[in-house]
Structure 1
Amino acid sequence: MSKILAVEDLLTTGRQLGMYMVTNLVGYAIHSAVVLPLIYLALTRRNPYRITRGILQALVTAVGTNSSAATLPVTVRCCEDNLKIDRTICRFVLPIGVTINMDGTAIFQVVTVVFIAQLNAIPLNVIDIFIICLCTTLTSVGSAGIPGGGFVTLFVIMSAVGLPPDDVYFVLPVVWLLGRVITMVNISGDCVAAALLAHYFPRQGAGAVHREQEENMIDHADIV
């Protein structure tokens, strides 16, 4: 509230904040609807949008919970039941993805840092951009899969490039909305990673091992 009251031209700042939201949403759309599908298509030669259809329930849950960790049980069920991904792969890849695979969070942090720099008329050179990319990668890996997890680590990136950390509160009024879209992007990335692993190792899961054990037991019983 103190940051909002300190704004001299509230209308101009509101427009800038609106463009900030649009930039974030466009980035999320490009990443989830273009980049991830192209990666999956290039590596598997299969329709990437079947993954989106299979995890619709998880995406809706992500909007409601704003948390990758809270959505994890639904994500696992969608991948196992709808996408037919092996159980071992799902229960190994997806929990790790909740912790370290934060695609949407990384986009949010980069756009936010650049937005704050522009608000303060502070130019960013090549070294600053490199530091932002490095810090964003590290902090997105370390961010927790909870509401606002990526927002907390913004203070570290802001300090690394010499920006005033308190200005992060300018974007706080819209973080509640962006966070839900960020969670959807994060979950989509996790599911694509699980689908890629299942494509290259279709028989390397617990289900396959159990089936082989059962077949061996049946063969042994027949011999006896």
Structure 2
Amino acid sequence: MVLGILVGKLFGLGVSKETDTLINLGIFELSLKGFFVEGIFHVGGQIFITSLKMLVVPLVFVSLVCGTCSLNDSAKIGRLGVKSLALYLITTAIAITLALSVATFIEPGQGFTLQTQTEFTPKPAPSFVEVVLGMFPSNPIDAMAKGNMLQIIVFAILFGIAMALSGKAGERLSALFFDLNEVIMKLVAILMNLAPYGVFFLMAKLFTYLDYLAIEPLIWYFLTVLAVLFIHALITYPLILKFLSGLNPVIFLTKMKEAALFAFSTSSSNATMPITMRTVTEKMGVNNSVSSFTVPLGATINMDGTAIMQGVATVFIAQVFAIDLSMADYVAVLLTATLASIGAAGVPGVGLILLAMVFQQVGLPVEGIALIIGVDRLLDMTRTAVNVTGDSMVSCIVAKSEKELDMAKFNKPM
């Protein structure tokens, strides 16, 4: 990652979106942008991301079916769902409360010179009824083809329950699924060998074009979001983990390093899911029957990092446009962002969609989102790392409460 950042900055000295550097080799000229940045770096990075995404649907479906059919207890499935959902919603509520409090204290929008860099048109957000209906697939194959994670989770749970209730036929089929799960995890292990190269390519291309001048006028907004993300990941999560499970937060954060770095480089909780699953099962000792449920659910609905961005952005835009928000407005922001994190999770550009919903709820101009788009890329990387850390923390807490956590494996040094 560090090498990719350095190489990207070196290329950035001679390559920009508008201009290019040509090297005359006598017979032909070599384009730095065309050959390295848009060629090797782009192709290598996209192959790596695509390979990660390739594993997501089979990993979630197969592991969740294995976990569900091995429970043999429908009440336990209900407990897993209630505990996981409650913890994800609580941590999201804490995240946005923390963001609103810190942003109100720092006042990042004071003295900001209003200048819209680009236009923003929000996509329509789904209603609550559409969210509920959208959880149930009319065509499971279509849901898998489109990567609709909530529908895949629901179908996998129902399929696993049916297998558990099907006697000998279910036992034969479960043996096949457990073998498939082993093969998929081996695929994840193979991909890990290519990970350093993929991360290098992603970082090299990103930092070639990264415009630090866009951050300068928004420096207080940028630093405020970054500070709250670090507080939530390094203080809130460890405190919740220690209080609810008694587990050692230092061990947890140490073992999260690999998954967090992957999340940072890919900016996608879904793409990082194979690594998150591997981390909580192999390094932290969470039983697959729990991790196969909590990790996919968290990658779909856990929006702590996005909630933090929404809280800071709400205060920032209100100050820029000199709009006073009441305590009722802050409560509305808290409720809207927390509950909407479930519904809009499967929609592309989820962060900006949710932010548009929040702005409309409290009467802020949606066009204000255009002010912060320029610095959102780096923040998106960081908040994805926070989201993945939250997914793993909830997995450990739920597993400990269900006595499905291998303490010897959790406490084992890296």
- Quickly name the TM-score band, shorter chain normalised: 0.7 to 0.9
Residue 79 of structure 1 aligns with which residue?
A: 280
Q: Secondary structure at the match of 2:345?
A: coil
Aligned partner letter, 1:65: T
Instruction: Give 5+ residue unaligned stretches, structure 2.
Output: 1-114, 120-213, 407-414
Q: Are residues 1:3 and 2:116 paired?
A: yes
Is 2:296 aligned against 1:183?
no
1:164 to 365, 376, 400: 365
Cα separation, partners in 2 of 1:15 and 1:121, compared to 1, 3 Å: farther
The question of 1:96 aligning with 2:209 is answered: no
Shift of 1:45: 2.2
Cα drift, residue 5 of structure 1: 8.0
Q: Structure 1 residues 17, 200: closer, same or farther in 2, change over 3 A?
A: same
Determine the C-alpha separation between the residues in 1 that align with 2:366 and 2:234: 32
Could you tell me how far apart the structure 2 residues matched to 1:145 and 1:50 are? 32
Q: For residues 98 and 157 of structure 1, do their structure 2 counterparts lie closer, same or farther at Cα, with a shift above 3 Å needed?
A: same
1:93–1:22: structure 2 CA closer, same or farther, 3 Å change rule? same
Tell me what 1:111 maps to. Answer: 312
State how far apart, in whole Å, the 2-side matches of 1:124 and 1:204 are. Answer: 45
Distance apart, 1:140 and its partner CA: 2.2
CA RMSD in angstroms comes to 2.3
The answer to whether residue 51 in structure 2 is matched with residue 51 in structure 1 is no
**CA shift digits 1:61-109 (9 cap, x unpaired):** 1111101011111100111111111011111001011112211111111
**Partner residue of 2:332?**
131
Query: Hey, what does 1:215 align to over in structure 2?
Result: none
- CA distance in structure 2 between the partners assigned to 1:27 and 1:147 by the alignment: 24
Deviation of 1:204 (Å): 8.8
Q: Secondary structure at the match of 2:314?
A: helix
**Separation in structure 2 between the aligned mates of residue 63 and residue 188 of structure 1, nearest angstrom:** 11
Q: Which letter maps to 1:189?
A: G
**Distance (Å, rounded) in 2 between the aligned partners of 1:83 and 1:147:** 31
- For residues 151 and 49 of structure 1, do their structure 2 counterparts lie closer, same or farther at Cα, with a shift above 3 Å needed? farther
Report the structure number with the largest CA radius of gyration: 2
Structure 1: 5+ residue runs without aligned partners?
7-12, 206-224
Distance 2:242 2:364 in 1: 40
Q: Tell me the distance in 2 between the aligned counterparts of 1:156 and 1:134.
A: 11
Partner residue, 1:39: 240
Change (3 A) 1:204 1:55: closer
Contact 2:266-2:272 within 8 A present in 1 as well? yes
Structure 2 CA distance for aligned equivalents of residues 157 and 197 of structure 1: 30
**What TM-score comes out, normalization by structure 1 length?**
0.82
Q: 1:88 to 1:36 in 2, by over 3 A?
A: same
Higher mean C-alpha deviation, range 45-54 or range 70-79 = 45-54
AA partner of residue 71 (structure 1): T
Report whether the alignment pairs 1:122 with 2:235. no
**Letter of the aligned partner of 2:317 in structure 1?**
I
Aligned with residue 223 of structure 2, among 15, 18, 22: 22
Match status 1:64 vs 2:177: no
Answer whether contact 2:291 2:395 (CA < 8 A) is retained: yes
Rounded to whole Å, the distance in 2 between the matches of 1:69 and 1:173 is: 23
Deviating above 4 A after TM superposition, structure 1's stretches of 4 or more consecutive aligned residues are 13-16
Q: Which amino acid aligns with 2:240?
A: I
Please say if residues 99 and 142 of structure 1, whose CA atoms lie closer than 8 Å, have aligned partners that are also in contact: no
- Compared CA separation, residues 79 and 147, structure 1 to 2 (3 A): farther
Q: Secondary structure at the match of 1:194?
A: helix
For the 8 Å contact 1:69–1:146, the answer to whether it is kept is no
Partner of 1:3, secondary structure, is: coil
Contact in 2 for aligned 1:67/1:146 (Cα 8 Å) = no
- Shift of the 14–65 alpha-carbon distance from structure 1 to 2, 3 Å rule, reads closer
What SS does structure 1 have at the residue aligned with 2:117?
helix
SS at 2:337's partner residue? helix
